[in-house]
Amino acid sequence: MDDVERGVVEVLREVFAQPDLEVTPATTAGDVEGWDSLAHLNVLFSLESRFGVQFTDGEMGSIQDVGELTESIRTKLG
């Protein structure tokens, strides 16, 4: 697990207040209790703050799973 993956998992655990939340690249919003549209925005804003990146409106609506989210952050970080 690299720094980006580790950071994404930490943010998800913080946002959902579940320190033992199991997260894989295939994890989707439907896999996590409480991950609704408001929580999705909270996750994205928390990730933007943590990594110093910004998601476009299109990205906010099109990211399907944690793997895509992680790859998007990696791409933005260069």
Task: Give the C-alpha separation, 56 to 69, whole Å.
Answer: 12
Give all domains of the chain, ordered by start, each with its CATH number.
Answer: 3-77 (1.10.1200.10)
Of residues 40, 42, 51, the one with CA closest to residue 76: 51
Task: Extract the tokens encoding 7.
Answer: 């950071």
Write out pLDDT tens, residues 17-46.
999 999 999 999 999 999 999 999 999 999
Given CA atoms 39, 45, 51, 53 in this order, what sign does their dihedral have? Answer: positive
Task: Tell me if residue 67 falls in helix, strand or coil.
Answer: helix
Residue with tokens 């990730």: 47
3-state secondary structure of 50: helix
Residue range 47-63, pLDDT digits in tens: 999 999 999 999 888 99
Q: What is the pTM of this model?
A: 0.93
At 1, the pLDDT band (50, 70, 90 cuts) reads confident
